[in-house]
Every structure is written in structure tokens, then in C-alpha cells.
Amino acid sequence: MGYLPIENHGIIGNLHTAALVGTDGTIDWLCLPAFDSPSIFCSILDDEKGGHFSLHPVEYLRSQQLYLPDTNVLLTRFLAENGMAETLDFMPIHDGAGERHRLVRNVHVVRGRMTFEVECRPAFDYARREHEVSVGKHGAVFSSDGACIGLATDVRLKEGPGKGARARFTLEEGQSATFLLAGIEDGAGPGEILSEREFEDLLQSTISYWRRWISKSTYEGQWREAVHRSALVLKLMVYHPTGALVAAPTMGLPESIGGERNWDYRYTWLRDAAFALYALIAIGFDEEAGQFMDWLTHRCQDADGSLQPLYSLDGRSRVEETVLDHLAGYRNSRPVRLGNDAYGQLQLDVYGAVMDAAYLYNKWGAPLDYDFWKNMRRIMNWLSKNWRQPDEGMWEVRGGRQHFVSSKVMCWVALERAVRISRQRGLPAGEGSWISERDKIYEEIMEKGWNPEKRSFVQHYDSDALDASLLMMPLVKFVGPTDPRWLSTLDSIQRELAYDTLVDRYNVHEAASDGLKGEEGSFSLCSFWYVECLTKAGRVEEARLALEKMFSYANHLGLYAEEIGRGGEALGNFPQAFTHLALISAALHLDRALGSG
């Protein structure tokens, strides 16, 4: 079948899970019932055995995709010499625990007469489990060891290769066909066929949901369309039952084609906490911020004083990593990893992220309660005694621990915000140790994290390598944005890590070993940090041009993967929450600097 470029996809979802829909009309990634559940379709990781759900004209010249305005309902238009057709893909939103997870696909001929092909060929559990198919008058049922999905349609299907269901059918101008894919009980039929009225009701209720939600946005500045699209895609990555924000809805998409830098991102990183809280609150989505804070509160409550970098969406602490060696990987990018062993790493920067999130929520959301503060005191006391340790850092290196400067900076952030909260609220603090340790961290960074010969802060102590994580230093107010040391560092990053507006996180040949082979793309997240640093330094015209250029690297729907390759292609898991959070923050600050907000 072949692989579409990563950027040639849109995303749809229902706040429990999400699907990737290619510009060729193929759904090549879907897990049910949750983001981190085993996959139903994963042909993006193996185009032969991964499973897919395709729907497209037999012949067409080109296709286009767009979202219906202010929604996550995806429209794909197919243009042929003698006709034009459109498909609408969406997942209805529901709040009830017993409601089925449904995916709706509708194809409609706008002009002419067109023939279509549809094929639904699931591959349960990352293509590790066999299944049976039963095709009948009203659709097909696919069952595998208790896991069942039904495909309901009035298009007559027949069994296809790989125990799939397929059909070729023709529609005249104005005619349409609908396909409803849903989880079903074992032994049940494919489900009820949607009438035109029922389809229209589902469509309108889904459109109304998204438009009501985005209407809560308070952002009215420049680049409103990009900010709102980022907000909509972030909402798609919220796991409604717990309020957790998934880092990305995908796994295994490579940071370099054919390379081994392939990770499972279907979990929640504490590192995202402060950025998520700030971005959501800043544009008016207090409810989502509150739900995420509740999830974060439970993780702090469960901690013995130490925090791990990531957790499952339901709060489980163990997400062991295994290799799915039966999958070929996206364009032969192997290994395909399931789970993420980074959960067991020591990443000291997460303490700063968590406490900064608590500070922001206490300031702009709701006052922190005493029970939460008791847990935070325990965590800050642990940090006061352990910040001197080397760690794996925010990039989760697998080549050995170092004294990463960005980790020490975030340790300072943790204690600085804790002191600030305790003073503002009169809450009991760490018996004076927090202030003492905070100041020791600051002095140590200035002494050991600054390279006087290079005139720059560096990646880790006793190093002359740069790291784009240093861009956080003025963003978290560790240094002033016009501090001479910082401006010199910013210039160094611009010279050594930036290619115009694209920023690499580090030079893999000069930095601390990350334990992996090969190259990687530029990090979109770091590029938006770079824009914000330019803004805070008063270089607003540079920042404005850099931001506009970054918008040109989004895909046709305004979505960003984790990285951008040398040819401008999307690399890594897609779409990535952290990048869209950073986009919102960069746009907010630059808009204010330009006097719009």
C-alpha cells in the first residue's frame, strides 16, 4: 500500500482516542477504546500487516483536506476529471461511560458520477492477534478474542484479503454513503445503519460541541486561526475520564527515516504540566486546566517524595517498554517500541514543571488546598536533598546521567515557586531549607553551567556543547531576557543550533551521548521557544518573521509533528502536544509585545 508522508494526515477523535486520516482517505492509525489501548489500525507502522480503513474514488487527480470551521470534523475532497466527491470523518463526542466509541465516515458526490473503493481490514493488538470476519447484508463484524468491532453500512460488502471487508460502489451526483465503525459486544451484529437524518444529527451535534468549546477562547490577537487550531488539537489529546493530556496520540513514528529514534508518546509527561496550565488558562480554558490539575494532584498524592517523568493516562506508574519486532516500522524505521522506559529515569526538571504548574494554578485558577500543599512540601523536601544528583535530563538521554544545566534550572524553579506560594498564602514552608537550597542551585549554575571561554551557558557541567533546552532560562525567569550572559547564550544558540527559524535541540556529535545512533530533525518545540526568547529580548521584528516562517512548516491543517526534517518534512510522533502548547505561548507573548493584546 505504501506510506503517506506523516504530514499528509489529519486527526479526529472523541476525547478518549484518536485516528489519523490520510489525504488518500485511509485511516492508518486508531487505538480502541483509549489512546494507549492496543491498535485496531496501524498500517502507518507496517503497510502490509498493520491494518487500515480506506475510502476513496477508484480514480482521482488530487485530494485536499480541511477542517470544518472551528471544529475537529475533517473534510477530504477528491477531484477527478469528471467529478468531485467529499468525505466527512469524525468521532461523535460522548460523556457516558457505557457509550460506544464510534467513528463515522460519509462520502458524498458533489459533481458528476464517481466509483469508490472501501476496504476495512483491522489488525488487532498491533497486528499480533488473529481475527475472524463475518460479512452480512448490513455490514461486517470483526472479532478477536473478545475484542469486536462492527462496520455498519448499506453498501454491500464482501470478504476481502486478510479477513477484511471491501466493496466497489458507484454514486451519482447528490448521492452519499455512510459507514459507522464502532466497538460492539461479542456476538452482536454490526450495528444499526445510519439513516441520512441520523447521520446529519450526529454530524451537527459534533460540530456544535466543537464550536461551543472553542467559543470559550478569550484570545483575540494576531494569528488567531493558528492559536485556535492548536487549542482544538490539544483538546483532542485530552483523555476525558482523567483530564490527562497525552503527549501525542501515536507511537513509533521516527525522528529520522530508517533510524532507531522511535518512541511511544501515548502517555502524559509531567514536564508538559506547566506549559499546559499556562497555555490553557491564558486563552480561557480554565475547565481543562482544572481537570489537568486534578490529574496532577493525584500523581503528587501518590508520590513518596520523588516523581517519575511520565505516567499512563489513568495514572499507572509502570509503562514497560517492549519491541514489536514483527512490525516493519514506518518506512523501515525500527525498532517499533511499545511503552516507554523513560518512566523509570531520573529527570529532575519535572519538579520545576510541577511546581510552576501549581504556582500558575494557584494564581490564575483556584487556591491550592492544604492537603495538596502537604504533598508538595514532601516533594520539595525530597528535591532539597537530591538536586545535586546527575540525571537523564529533559531529553531523556540513554547514554548516561549528566549534570544538565536545564535540569538544575528547573530545580531552582521548583524551590523558587514553592517559596513564592508559601509567602503569598502564608503556607508552611521547608523550615528555611528551600531558600537556602534555591540560592545554592543558582550560584552553582552560574559557576558551573556558564562557560567563560565560550561566553555561553552550556548543556551540562564541564562541557562546551550547547543545548536548546537552555532557551527555557528566560521563559521561567531564571535570568532576565536582556541579561548579558543570556543574550550571549542566545547568540550562540542562533549560530550553532538554529537554521534560520528551525532549531536543533543539540548537536548529536558534540553533546552528551544520548545513547542512540543517527541524526534527528529540528525540534518544533525549540523553534517556538526561540521565538518567545527573541520577543522577550525586545527583538520583536525578528521574532515576528521567525513565527511566520514556523507557521509555514505546519501541515495543510495547521498541525505539527515533533520534528521537522532537513527537507521540511514532518518527523516524529504526530501531532505533538508540547509543540502546540509552545506555539500558543509564543503567539501570546509576541502579540502582547506588538501591542495587540
How does pLDDT run across 229-288, given as a tens digit for each residue?
999 999 999 999 999 999 999 999 999 999 999 999 999 999 987 788 889 999 999 999
- State how far the Cα of 99 lies from the Cα of 450, in Å rounded to an integer: 56
| Whether residue 335 has a cis bond before it, omega within 30° of 0 | yes
Residue 428: is it exposed, middle or buried by C-beta count within 10 angstroms (0-12/13-18/19+)?
Answer: exposed
- State how far the Cα of 355 lies from the Cα of 117, in Å rounded to an integer: 53
Residues 6+ apart with CB under 8 A from 217: 227, 228, 231, 283, 284, 285
Helix (H, G, I), strand (E, B) or coil at 490: helix
Residue 21, all three cell numbers: 486520516
Residue 315: per-residue pLDDT? 87
- State how far the Cα of 156 lies from the Cα of 140, in Å rounded to an integer: 10
* 456 confidence band (pLDDT: 50, 70, 90): very high
pLDDT higher than threshold 80 for residue 10: yes
Residues 6+ apart with CB under 8 A from 204: none
- Spatial CA neighbour of 122 closest among 26, 36, 49: 49
Residue 92: per-residue pLDDT? 96
- Spatial CA neighbour of 30 closest among 140, 199, 177, 151: 151
- State how far the Cα of 69 lies from the Cα of 290, in Å rounded to an integer: 27
pLDDT tens-place string over residues 17-58? 999 999 999 999 999 999 999 999 999 999 999 999 999 999
Query: Any idea which residue has 506510506 for its cell?
Result: 3
Q: Residue 224's CB: how many other CB atoms inside 10 A? A: 14
Residue-range domains of the chain with CATH? 9-212 (2.70.98.50), 216-593 (1.50.10.10)
Widest CA span in the chain: 78
pLDDT tens-place string over residues 474-531? 999 999 999 999 999 999 999 999 999 999 999 888 777 777 787 889 999 999 999 9
Confirm if 40 and 122 have CB atoms less than 8 A apart.
yes
- State how far the Cα of 456 lies from the Cα of 361, in Å rounded to an integer: 33
Helix (H, G, I), strand (E, B) or coil at 371: helix
- Spatial CA neighbour of 166 closest among 131, 116, 108, 109: 116
Residues 6+ apart with CB under 8 A from 68: 74, 75, 88, 207
Task: Determine if residue 595 is left, alpha or beta; phi over 0 gives left, psi from -120 to 50 gives alpha, anything else beta.
Answer: left
Choose between 466 and 275: higher pLDDT.
466
Residues 6+ apart with CB under 8 A from 459: 402, 404, 405, 465, 466, 467, 469, 470, 506, 511, 512
Ranking 274-278, 398-402, 448-452, 561-565 by mean pLDDT, the lowest is: 274-278
Residue 305: per-residue pLDDT? 82
Mean pLDDT of the chain: 94
* 449 confidence band (pLDDT: 50, 70, 90): very high
Angle at which helix 349-360 crosses helix 405-425, to 10 degrees, equals 30
Q: Which residue type sits at 144?
A: S
- Spatial CA neighbour of 524 closest among 581, 592, 595, 461: 581
- State how far the Cα of 161 lies from the Cα of 570, in Å rounded to an integer: 31
Task: Report, in angstroms and rounded to the nearest whole number, the Rg of the chain calculated over CA atoms.
Answer: 25
**Cα-based angle 561, 562, 565 (whole degrees, multiple of 5):** 80
Residue 558: per-residue pLDDT? 98
CA 402, 406, 410, 411: dihedral to nearest 10 degrees? 30
Residue 596: per-residue pLDDT? 61
* 597 confidence band (pLDDT: 50, 70, 90): very low
Residue 192, all three cell numbers: 444499526
* 571 confidence band (pLDDT: 50, 70, 90): very high
pLDDT higher than threshold 80 for residue 546: yes
* 141 confidence band (pLDDT: 50, 70, 90): very high
Residue 451: per-residue pLDDT? 96
Strands (E), 174-315: 176-183, 238-239, 244-245, 268-269, 310-311
Residue 68: per-residue pLDDT? 98
